[in-house]
Chains A and B, each alone.
Chain A
Amino acid sequence: QIQLVQSGAEVKKPGASVKVSCKPSGYTFTTSGITWVRQAPGQGLEWMGWISGYNGNADYAQNLQARLTLTTDTSTSTAYMELRSLTSDDTAVYYCARATSSNAGFHYDYWGQGTLVTVSS
């Protein structure tokens, strides 16, 4: 069965960076992309970006583009999300999800368990 397993919770100070990993299993990594979504406490879902598992091409949300880097390591079939210059507004649960194409766009059919990132001094 398809699973996406994420790295554990992180506590960071303002100004620091965080890197979260996402390791899918149950399908060939290079055949699908990975999207990253975050959810601040008590808030809705926010799309952060997408990266191709095939060639590493990435798209980023405009409001995060300057601070966000998505990468993949095809040798270990792992995707990474790095967010820099953290503030308290970045405190959230971060999810990775497999992106599957539909007729006009992508949907996210399998999700990781989420990684809580807390930014606090």
Chain B
Amino acid sequence: QSVLTQPPSLSGAPGQRVTISCTGRSSNIGAGFDVHWYQQLLGTAPKLLIYGNNNRPSGVPDRFSGSKSGTSASLAITGLQAEDEADYYCQSYDHSLSGYVFGSGTKVTVL
């Protein structure tokens, strides 16, 4: 069971906005550690989507945005597109575990 909790699944129609939550605790997100987000298309390696809470690597569309507050973080996808159908994972550091942790993952379905 992951220490970073995400909703198992979300769905939206093309063009809609979806927001994925990542709920942590005082030993990880709440301790000030950065949150990063990854997109994993079916059968492929994860891809970095957001780093340092709200920064997009070069080439990632600005439809993707990240935020962090308290012990939680969120990834927003605006203008949902068919190619956004994937699994999404948050990631941070947990000092009680002395290691990095991933969220439980959220499957986004485009209706």
Q: A residues within 8 Å of B by Cβ?
A: 35, 37, 44-47, 49-50, 59-62, 95, 97, 100, 102-109, 111-114
A sample of 7 more A-B contacts (CB under 8 A), given A45-B40, A111-B46, is: A47-B101, A50-B100, A61-B99, A102-B36, A102-B52, A103-B52, A107-B36
Contact A109 to B48, CB < 8 A, known contacts A35-B100, A44-B102, A103-B34: yes
Interface size class of B (residues with CB under 8 A): 20 to 34
Q: Measured between C-beta atoms, what is the minimum distance from A54 to chain B in Å?
A: 19
Interfacial residues, chain B to chain A (CB-CB below 8 A): 2, 32-34, 36, 38, 40, 45-48, 51-52, 55, 57, 87, 89, 91-93, 97-105
Residues A47 and B36 in contact in the complex (CB < 8 Å), given A107-B52, A109-B57, A111-B46? no
A contact face: mostly helix, strand, loop, or mixed: strand
